[in-house]
Amino acid sequence: MGRKSPSTPHRVVSIFRKFGNSEIMCFGEKDILDMATEEGSGRINIVGDMYRSFLNDEEGKIEWRYGAPPTYDTVNQLFEQGRTKEWPKGSLEETVQNAVKSWEMEISYKTRVQDIKTINPTKFNLVVNGREGLSAEETVRLGTYNALLKNSLPKEFKVYKAEEETYETSHEHFRTAFPRGFAWEVLQVFSGPPLISYKFRHWGFFEGPYKGHAPTGELVQFFGLGTIKVDDSLKVEDLEIYFDPAELFGGLLKGKPTSSESESLSCPFSKLTTKSES
């Protein structure tokens, strides 16, 4: 369990108001757990996931990658069963955790940057392991897996070749390897807005083949650190993530080689609109 604090929902709201935001994104606060306020309009958006905001599309104007919002029931179950921290409702830790989950959902499944509510689209910059930053448009085009796993190693030393993958193939590799999803949690928050810093854990069970390697059924996980710089409206301007990809691929490459890499791939359109992996 995370640390307790008095009147945690009020604590988080007061922290956010301190920076003059016009949109309070207290994703974990009980009274607004399933809603988000559209900036400046006062209109309440009801959403369909207890850990992610900005999923609903009442007016049908959002361009979803596969025509409809994703669902997270399977990975939410994995998250609830395997998390090591259960943060108090409305705490800073829960708020950061749900904010990152909301950002990941929007970047992965909304194809137009103007539809993404968690970021400042003109300033957004993603830096992974100190590499050159990616704009919002580049991150949406690549997909989160390719954006996180790009590297500058010579081709012969690359375990994962992001430049040879599309958004669809990258997500299908990991959907197949982790059929119950690839869950994510905040382990610790070191500082609040405007420069948030945190430690995280990403995990799943290797129960499906991965690029020519048979599943082991074992837990695969990695740990990392992140920082998020937000503007006065709490929209993300800079996101930096640091982790060791060897923690991930070490678990995936333990599986015995299969006769054909094609065995690791199922139809890329079979699960896209029904289940999300993280």
- What is the DSSP pairing of strand 236-243 with strand 125-128? parallel
In-domain check, residue 274: no
Give the pLDDT of residue 56: 80
**By the 8 A CB rule, do 158 and 149 touch?**
no
* Integer-rounded Cα radius of gyration of the chain: 18
- Digitized pLDDT (tens) for each residue of the chain, 278 residues in all: 444 333 333 333 333 333 333 232 333 333 223 333 333 333 334 447 999 999 887 678 899 999 999 999 999 999 999 999 999 999 999 999 999 999 999 999 999 999 999 999 999 999 999 999 999 999 999 999 999 999 888 888 889 999 999 999 999 999 999 999 999 999 999 999 999 999 999 999 999 999 999 999 999 999 999 999 999 999 999 999 999 999 999 999 999 998 655 444 444 333 344 456 66
Total structural domains within the chain: 1
CA 240, 73, 36, 4 torsion-angle sign: negative
If phi > 0 it is left, if psi is from -120 to 50 it is alpha, else beta; for residue 277 that is alpha
92-109 helix and 8-18 helix, angle to the nearest 10 degrees: 60
230, HSE (Cβ side, Cα atoms, 13 Å)? 29
In-domain check, residue 40: yes
**Phi/psi at 94 (5° precision):** -65, -40
Q: Which residue has the tokens 């207290």?
A: 26
Give the pLDDT of residue 58: 67
pTM: 0.77
Give the pLDDT of residue 259: 66
In-domain check, residue 269: no
In-domain check, residue 272: no
* Structural domain range at position 148: 8-264
In-domain check, residue 171: yes
**By the 8 A CB rule, do 51 and 33 touch?**
no
**Phi/psi at 74 (5° precision):** -70, -50
In-domain check, residue 128: yes
In-domain check, residue 270: no
CA 141/CA 166 separation, integer angstroms: 9
CB-count burial class (<10 Å; 0-12, 13-18, 19+) for 267: exposed
Give the pLDDT of residue 213: 96
CB-count burial class (<10 Å; 0-12, 13-18, 19+) for 54: buried
Give the pLDDT of residue 21: 31
The closest alpha carbon to 181, from 53, 278, 65, belongs to 278
Give the pLDDT of residue 237: 98
CATH at residue 138 = 3.10.450.50
In-domain check, residue 2: no
